[in-house]
Structure 1
Amino acid sequence: MSLIVPLLAGVLASSALSGTASAGRVPTGAGALTKNPLYKTEKFAVDGCEEPFAGSADVEVFRRYVKDMDVCLDKAWRPLLREARLPYGKPKVRFSYGDRVKTSCGTFTVNNSDSVYCLRTKTIHMMVNDYGLRGEIDKPKLLESLSIGYAFHVQKLAGILDAQVNLSKKASKREATALGNKVGLQALCLSGALTGGIWDSLGHTREHGQKYYIGRHVIGEYGSFGKPANQVYWFRRGFEAESPSVCNTFTAPVSKVK
C-alpha cells in the first residue's frame, strides 16, 4: 500500500468547516497534539456497515467498493467528532484510474492501488492502475488506504495537522522529523481504531484481524510513518481498543514513535 500525504505549509490553506452547531473551538498549538479532545472519546459504535462484495478486479468494482466504504467510514467518524465537540465535515473522496493521476495537490505516479490525502481541499484520492486490478480486488488493502485517508482528515479537523505545520516551522530538522513520525503513527492508530470498530460489522472474525490483517500492509520506511515495528504497534493498539483514546503518540515513549 502506498499512501502519499503532502504535509507542506503551502498545502494547508485554512477554510471553513461544516460542523454541528454544538461544536467547540478547534484546539491550536502544542495542546492540539498532547491534549486533543479526540483522546477522550469512547469506542466506535457502528451497526449495519456491510462490506460490499468484490470479486474479479475491474475499474467499476474498485469504484463501487470505495464508494460504499466511504459511506461506512463517514457514519463511523461523524458521531465521535460530535462527542469530542469538534466540527465535522465529510472529506471529498475521488477515484482515479491510470498510471499517472492528477489530483488537487499534484500529479502522482500510481504503483498499484494508492491513496493521497490533499490537505488544502480535504480530499482523499483513491488511485489504481492496471497492475492493481489484476486478480481479485484486495479489499483489506483498499479499506486500509481509505481509512488512513480518513485518519488524516480527522487530524486536520481536530487541529493536529495545522499544529504540526506551525510547530515544525520553528523546529530543527530533527525535531520536525520526529513530529512528522508522531503524526504518521497516530494516523495508523486512528485507522486501526476505526477498522477495529467496524470489523465485526463487516463480517470478519476478530482472529482474522489479529493474525492476518494487522501488519499485512506495513508502509515500511516510506514517508513519515516511523519504523515498521512501531507502525504495527500503533495500528494494533488502535485496532484492539476500537477508540482514538489510545492514539496519543505525542506523549508516548520515544522508543514507540521512532
Structure 2
Amino acid sequence: MRRGPAMALAGLLLVLSAGCTPSAAPAVVLSTAPGPTPVASRPARVAPTARSTYQSPGDFYLLHNEIYSAGQVPAVPCKLPKIPLQTQKEVQQYANAVLGCLERAWKPVVERADVVYSSTVVYVVDQGWKTGCGIFGKDDEGFYCADAGIYLDWDQFTEESPDDRVWAGVYLQFTMAHEFGHHVQQLTGISSYFDDRWSEASGAARLEQMRRHELQASCFASAFLGANQQTLDLYGERLEAYRDAAYAGDDDAPTVQPDHGSRKSSTAWAQAAFKAKSPSACNTWSVPAERVT
C-alpha cells in the first residue's frame, strides 16, 4: 500500500497503539518458533534511600531508573539488506536486520544500567495469527509482547512501487526502534511499574500514564536512530521520512484516542533524543503533564 504523508502518519499511530497497553493475560511463548528468554517481571524491591524516602519503589524505578545515566547509545555496524519490501519474506529479512542493529546498540547501554540483557525476536505475521499476547487482530499493525517478542503485520510495511522504498524502509526502522524501546522498558523494570500506575488510574489520568510510556518508547527509538544516523544514512529524503514517522502525533489521526502524545510532544521528545543520542533525554516520568500531552 502506497503511503503518502497523511496516510503514513495515521498508519504509524495504529502501529504504535496496538498491543502497547498492559494486558491482564499472562504472555505465552509461541510454539511455532523459539521465543526469547523471559525477563523478570520487575527488579527486586529496594530499600528507600535519602533521595527516595517520599517515593514508592515504583516511582523510584520510573523517575530515577539507571538507564537514564547509562550513557549514549553507541553507533554500531548496521548493514541493512538492499531489497524491495514486497513480500512477507522480504519484510521479515529486513526486520531481522534492523533488530540485529538494535540489539547490538542497546545491549551495552542496558548492561551499564546494571541489568542482565535478554534478547527478543520479531515475528512478521498475518492478521489472525496467534501471538504470545492473543490473536493478532484486523486493526493491529504491530506490537511488543513481553516474553514473546515484536509482532508486525507484514502487509503494512510493503512498498507499492520503488518510489515507496525509502519511506517503507525508514517507516519499518522507526516502528522496530519504537517497539524495541518497549523491550528496553521491560528489561529495566519501567514497564512493570507503568502497569501498576495504569491499573490504579482511570479516564484522563490513565491516558496520561499511557502517553508517558509511549512517548518514552519513541524517545528511545530516536536516541538509537540519532546515534546511528550515519550508519543508517538518515540524511536528505531518508531524514525527512524519519521525521514524518517520529513527529507523528495523536492529533494527526483524530479518530485515535490520545494515548501516544500530540505532534508537539512527539516532536519535542524525538528532537531531544536524536540530538542527545542517549536515554538521558527520555525521562518522561519526571516532567509536568503539559510536556506529555
- TM-score band, normalised by shorter chain: 0.7 to 0.9
User: Deviation of residue 34 (structure 1)?
Assistant: 0.7
Moved more, 143-152 or 234-243: 234-243
- Residue 16 to residue 143, structure 1, CA distance change in 2 (3 Å): closer
Aligned-partner residue type, residue 176 of structure 2: L
User: Deviation of residue 54 (structure 1)?
Assistant: 2.4
In structure 2, runs of 5+ residues without a counterpart are 1-11, 29-36, 47-56
Determine helix, strand or coil for the equivalent of 1:47: coil
- Residue 34 to residue 89, structure 1, CA distance change in 2 (3 Å): same
Equivalence for 1:169:
199
Q: Is 1:185 the counterpart of 2:215 in the alignment?
A: yes
- Structure 1 Cα separation of the partners of residues 95 and 138 of structure 2: 17
Equivalence for 1:160:
190
Is the CA contact 2:234–2:242 (under 8 Å) kept in the aligned structure 1? Answer: no
User: Deviation of residue 87 (structure 1)?
Assistant: 2.1
- Structure 1 Cα separation of the partners of residues 27 and 134 of structure 2: 15
- Structure 2 Cα separation of the partners of residues 131 and 46 of structure 1: 25
Is the CA contact 2:73–2:278 (under 8 Å) kept in the aligned structure 1? Answer: yes
- Correspondence list, 1:208-219, <5 A: 211-216=240-245, 218-219=248-249
Q: Which of 41, 48, 69 is the matching residue for 2:98?
A: 69
Equivalence for 2:143:
116
- Correspondence list, 1:7-18, <5 A: 7-11=21-25, 17=39
- Structure 2 Cα separation of the partners of residues 203 and 49 of structure 1: 10
Determine helix, strand or coil for the equivalent of 2:232: coil
- Correspondence list, 1:51-130, <5 A: 51-55=80-84, 57-96=86-125, 98-109=126-137, 114-119=141-146, 121-129=147-155
Q: Paired residues, what number? A: 249
- Structure 2 Cα separation of the partners of residues 116 and 81 of structure 1: 21
User: Deviation of residue 122 (structure 1)?
Assistant: 3.9
- Residue 16 to residue 61, structure 1, CA distance change in 2 (3 Å): closer
Percent identity, please: 22
Aligned-partner residue type, residue 21 of structure 2: L
User: Deviation of residue 237 (structure 1)?
Assistant: 1.6
User: Deviation of residue 180 (structure 1)?
Assistant: 1.2
If each structure's strand is expressed as a fraction of its own residues, which one has the higher value?
1
RMSD: 2.8
Determine helix, strand or coil for the equivalent of 2:285: helix
- Could you list the structure 1 runs, at least 4 aligned residues long, displaced by more than 6 angstroms after superposition: none
User: Deviation of residue 16 (structure 1)?
Assistant: 5.3
Is the CA contact 1:39–1:246 (under 8 Å) kept in the aligned structure 2? Answer: yes
Moved more, 2-11 or 229-238: 2-11
Equivalence for 1:255:
290
- After superposition, the C-alpha distances for 1:195-224 in whole angstroms (9 at most, x for unaligned) are 11112112333x656544213362535452
- Residue 108 to residue 56, structure 1, CA distance change in 2 (3 Å): closer
- Residue 56 to residue 163, structure 1, CA distance change in 2 (3 Å): closer
User: Deviation of residue 77 (structure 1)?
Assistant: 0.6
Q: Is 1:226 the counterpart of 2:261 in the alignment?
A: yes
Equivalence for 1:41:
70
- Structure 2 Cα separation of the partners of residues 186 and 66 of structure 1: 21
- Residue 214 to residue 176, structure 1, CA distance change in 2 (3 Å): same
